[in-house]
Structure 1
Amino acid sequence: MPKNWTTCTVEDLADLVRGVTYTKADAAKKLQDGHAPLLRSNNINISINHDELVFVKEERIGEAQWLCDGDVLIAMSSGSSSLVGKAAQAKIPPRETFGAFCSVLRPFPLICKRYFGWFFQTSMYRQNVSADAKGSSINNLKRSHVLSIGFPLAPANEQLRIVDKIESLFAQLDHGEAGLRDVQKLLARYRQSVLKAAVTGQLTADWRAENADRLESGHDLLERILQARRENWQGRGKYKEPAAPDTRDLPELPEGWVWASVDQMVRVFRNGLSKKPVAEKNQYPILRISAVRPMSVTLNDLRYYSPADTEDVSSYWVEKGDLLFTRYSGSAQFVGVCGQMRDSVSVLHPDKLIKLRVVDTPELCRDFLELAWNAGVTRAHIASNIKTTSGQQGIAGGDIKSAPFPLPPADEQVVIAERVWDVFEKMERLQSHCQAELARSAALRQSVLKDAFAGKLVPQNPDDEPASELLARIRAERDAAAPKKRTRKKATA
């Protein structure tokens, strides 16, 4: 650290203000007369966002609890250790307050607010609060944890030079990151357009033109699949013919295609195990609902199942080639999405996932079914049947079974799947490049901040007032402003 710098604690430079406590009766989901927006832990990231606000009665808000320009808002409690301690600085905020799971650090007048605020984006600060956060299910920071953090204090003039340099460099990084995020948005839109072209026949219009002389009737194709379904049925009880889709409002299909339902394609359709899994590892790994996303099943976050003594779980193992649908999710966009198990790994599936095994016939390409069941008319049907129960978004198995989808000839199914996955692999490489560059940019930001608070970002000026003298003035002003304690006079005899 340069010789004209000094070290102190956060307590030397700022007051800590606790957030507003309130009950459900004091709060509203929309702004009303006599209410004010209240920020919570979920509103804190690198900057403050204003999503999912709560509005509380102004009578609950103390004078010091109104957010001020330059305040540093800190998440003091969170169920996630990666979120507790997150901090963001307010910039000329609207008339807002903050909740009891947050606190605000309000810097004293003699310190540069922006300099003070940038410190709370450093890895140095994050390491301090990560080490201090404690709790069994909720991670909590105490007032003392934050106020006792060491703070590298630069001379007042150098603080201004440091802030100018940080913000100049970060503006360049912002520009580059904005370009990368624009590419990511374009890739997401392009992905949807490829899926749409795949399930409407546009993607393989050239293939059909070249193979027009050998295109078969969609009706004949579907009949052969249904015959194979009857022959290798593994369901319970007497065989029941699956219902055909209602095609009255469905668009016209290319030659050789036919509308079918999900139910017509499957020989096994089964919910999973309902007993709650455990984190302790055993011989019965089980998928989490988050393992299934559109066109993917991941195995990087498993839980484990403990069967009862007489419980038979043999029918709940997931095999390579099985298709899985999500039944429930906290987010509607992940309800009813479909992914294919591509790994040869023994794993069970929970009740919130539905396992499908398709009819064992060369007439069906699982890769095509997976993409078709995540797109177009099929996805629209599923999305329209999502219901909300106890705060969870969900869909009934019957609504998945009845979902319509376009079925092309067997050979065309393979061509569509190959073309889609070829495009997606190229897009994935671009996406990975964008992610790598964004990660590199984040690392550069930390490198800039590390140099800034080590006195290496800008040159020192020996004529600047030493930080030790600045600190002495800050302490003197703080002490002068503090209310004096009353002392009782001793009683005289």
Structure 2
Amino acid sequence: MMNEGALSELPGGWVWTRLGEIANIGAGNPAPQGEEFFENGIYPFVRVQDMGNLGSNVYIYDTRDHLNIKAIEKMKLFPKGSVLFTKSGMSILLNQRAILGKDMYVVSHIGIALPLGDIPCEWLYYWLKTFDFKKLTHATTLPSLQLSKVQEIYTPLPPLPEQRRIVAKIEELFTRLDAGVSALKKTQAQLKRYRQSVLKAACEGKLVLTEAELAKAEGRTYEPADVLLARILEERREKWNGKGKYKEPVAPDTSGLPTLPEGWGWATLPQLGDLARGKSKHRPRDDKRLFGGPYPFIQTGDVKNSNGSIKNFSQTYSEFGLAQSRLWPAGTLCITIAANIADSGILTFPSCFPDSVVGFVCEDTNCNVRFIEFFIRTAKKDLEKYAPATAQKNINLETLGNLAVPLPPLAEQRRIVAEVERRLSVADEVAKTVKQSLAQAERLRQSILKKAFEGKLVAQDANDEPAGVLLERIKAERTKKGSGSKFKRKGL
């Protein structure tokens, strides 16, 4: 960083100074406590959330909360052009910056830098964008930033005309970058819709020729879904023989369901295979004896981040942990029913998981588990509707067990899976390229800022008034004004 170690050599006409010598540094106002200070409010009140909601925008013109006349009686008003930065809480680590688009009131969790001597606020904004305030924070659970340290930040000051040229050039280049980034993000959105449309077509029998159509064209017979389902149920009854009274799995309620292609049928997961919740019976759940052994233990986050195939785990069970759980085989379809509803992924290794995850196992001679996983992705929104509106959303096993699942003939399931995987792999490659391009755009943005404050972005002009003269003028103006308040109070 430019602010560490020996100061680098600057172009002619530039000078090193400290931030506090070219800007007034202050903090916002404590937030009024009570609805009476916001009722019928008309004065914008900038909070940290407002900065977070800016996205790629630079200026804040309005806020979520507005203060009334009672609230602002003893509050500092910060002028248009003030540069904002977060100064307390985890938001410091995000290095958020903003410029007030008009005079506003600001919360105390935000710091303010008001440039002096006609220094463009945009120049100061871009300079602060290059600096990582994390380096100045206290190493505590809740980070905080001392304004005295902000005042001491070494700052390379160019001549005033060059500052304006730098701002103009940065804005020109960033405008081009923003256009490219916008196009890339549109592509990301289109890819997401494309994936959804592929899965929807797959589960409606519109992606490949149906088995009925192929059989008719080739003059052969085939096993339709009703015969397939009957065979699966018979095999399951035979396997159950001798284990007590057999309970028939619940059949789907098909009333109101759409018409399926010829040869398809409706089924439930308990009809097609074994459906059960994971196990983690021991309490407390964080007992150290449970962990550190050879048995993978996955949780809802691992399923959510799996992109359909669970290849990683961050925790393992010991023999003690396994004894109170269950080891599911590779090929198990995992479906989350708590916190993240209906995220899905197939195990690529044997693993345990808690009761916030449901496991589904079927014989590959009866149904294709990847087809079922694709369908669960399409049913995610419908399943989320069953979750009560509470802080910890969840659905029960019965909800999942009653879900009507479209069942194509087995050969068609395999063709559908192959075609979906082919199309999604193409989409994944495009998405990878888009992600790399977005990362490259961000690196280019940082490179532009780095060059700007090294004096390498625009040409120097020997006719410009040296920055040292500007700095002396700012000092003289400050001395003349004395130690009065940096920011005025009340009124707009």
| TM score, norm. by length of structure 1 | 0.83
Q: Number of aligned residue pairs: give it.
A: 462
Does structure 1 residue 55 correspond to structure 2 residue 96?
Answer: no
Is this contact kept in 1: 2:162–2:464, CA < 8 A?
yes
> What displacement does 1:121 show?
2.1
| Range with bigger deviation, 441-450 or 211-220 | 211-220
Task: List runs of 5+ in structure 1 lacking aligned partners.
Answer: 486-493
Residues 312/403 of structure 1: CA separation in 2 closer, same or farther (3 Å cut): same
Does structure 1 residue 335 correspond to structure 2 residue 372?
Answer: no
Task: List runs of 5+ in structure 2 lacking aligned partners.
Answer: 1-9, 486-492
Does structure 1 residue 72 correspond to structure 2 residue 76?
Answer: no
CA distance in 1 between partners of 2:205 and 2:15 (Å): 69
Does structure 1 residue 188 correspond to structure 2 residue 192?
Answer: yes
> What displacement does 1:223 show?
1.8
Does structure 1 residue 18 correspond to structure 2 residue 15?
Answer: no
**1:315 aligns to what?**
325
> What displacement does 1:137 show?
3.1
CA distance in 2 between partners of 1:272 and 1:440 (Å): 44
> What displacement does 1:62 show?
6.9
**2:383 aligns to what?**
382
* 1:15 maps to amino acid: N
CA distance in 2 between partners of 1:6 and 1:427 (Å): 51
CA distance in 2 between partners of 1:156 and 1:299 (Å): 56
Is this contact kept in 2: 1:77–1:84, CA < 8 A?
no
Q: Secondary structure at the match of 2:209?
A: helix
Match of 2:13 among 4, 11, 27: 4
> What displacement does 1:203 show?
0.5
> What displacement does 1:233 show?
6.2
Does structure 1 residue 369 correspond to structure 2 residue 372?
Answer: yes
- Listed one character per residue, the Cα deviations across residues 117-141 of structure 1 (whole Å, up to 9, x for unaligned) are 111222xx02xx2223334433332
> What displacement does 1:444 show?
0.9
**1:488 aligns to what?**
none
**1:260 aligns to what?**
267
Is this contact kept in 2: 1:229–1:267, CA < 8 A?
no
- Listed one character per residue, the Cα deviations across residues 393-452 of structure 1 (whole Å, up to 9, x for unaligned) are 322222122121211111111111110010000000000111111111111111111000
**2:480 aligns to what?**
480
Please give the residue correspondences for 1:38-53 in structure 2 after superposition, counting only pairs within 5 Å.
38-41=46-49, 42-43=52-53, 46-47=56-57
CA distance in 2 between partners of 1:219 and 1:117 (Å): 67
> What displacement does 1:305 show?
6.0
Residues 392/112 of structure 1: CA separation in 2 closer, same or farther (3 Å cut): same
Q: Please give the root-mean-square deviation of Cα atoms over the aligned residues, in Å.
A: 3.4
Please give the residue correspondences for 1:344-493 in structure 2 after superposition, counting only pairs within 5 Å.
344=349, 347-352=351-356, 354-375=357-378, 378-389=379-390, 391-483=391-483
* 1:449 maps to amino acid: L
CA distance in 1 between partners of 2:361 and 2:310 (Å): 20
- Listed one character per residue, the Cα deviations across residues 184-211 of structure 1 (whole Å, up to 9, x for unaligned) are 1111111111111001101023664223
* 2:86 maps to amino acid: A
Residues 275/305 of structure 1: CA separation in 2 closer, same or farther (3 Å cut): farther
Is this contact kept in 2: 1:20–1:61, CA < 8 A?
no
**1:102 aligns to what?**
110
- Listed one character per residue, the Cα deviations across residues 131-155 of structure 1 (whole Å, up to 9, x for unaligned) are 2333443333222333322211111
CA distance in 1 between partners of 2:151 and 2:163 (Å): 20
| Range with bigger deviation, 187-196 or 467-476 | 467-476
CA distance in 2 between partners of 1:325 and 1:438 (Å): 32
Residues 15/326 of structure 1: CA separation in 2 closer, same or farther (3 Å cut): farther
Match of 1:211 among 212, 215, 224: 215
CA distance in 1 between partners of 2:113 and 2:137 (Å): 18
Please give the residue correspondences for 1:233-248 in structure 2 after superposition, counting only pairs within 5 Å.
239-248=246-255
* 1:106 maps to amino acid: L
Residues 349/150 of structure 1: CA separation in 2 closer, same or farther (3 Å cut): farther
Residues 161/54 of structure 1: CA separation in 2 closer, same or farther (3 Å cut): closer
> What displacement does 1:364 show?
0.9
CA distance in 2 between partners of 1:444 and 1:27 (Å): 47
Residues 48/484 of structure 1: CA separation in 2 closer, same or farther (3 Å cut): closer
Please give the residue correspondences for 1:228-307 in structure 2 after superposition, counting only pairs within 5 Å.
228-232=235-239, 239-273=246-280, 275-277=284-286, 282-283=292-293, 286-293=297-304, 295-297=307-309, 302-303=314-315
CA distance in 1 between partners of 2:464 and 2:428 (Å): 52
Q: Percent identity?
A: 29
Is this contact kept in 1: 2:274–2:360, CA < 8 A?
yes
> What displacement does 1:238 show?
5.5
Is this contact kept in 2: 1:277–1:286, CA < 8 A?
no
Residues 216/484 of structure 1: CA separation in 2 closer, same or farther (3 Å cut): closer
* 1:321 maps to amino acid: G
Is this contact kept in 2: 1:12–1:475, CA < 8 A?
yes
Q: Secondary structure at the match of 2:93?
A: coil
CA distance in 1 between partners of 2:119 and 2:288 (Å): 48
Match of 1:139 among 116, 140, 143: 143
Is this contact kept in 2: 1:225–1:361, CA < 8 A?
no
Residues 25/324 of structure 1: CA separation in 2 closer, same or farther (3 Å cut): farther
CA distance in 2 between partners of 1:239 and 1:152 (Å): 80
Is this contact kept in 2: 1:225–1:359, CA < 8 A?
no
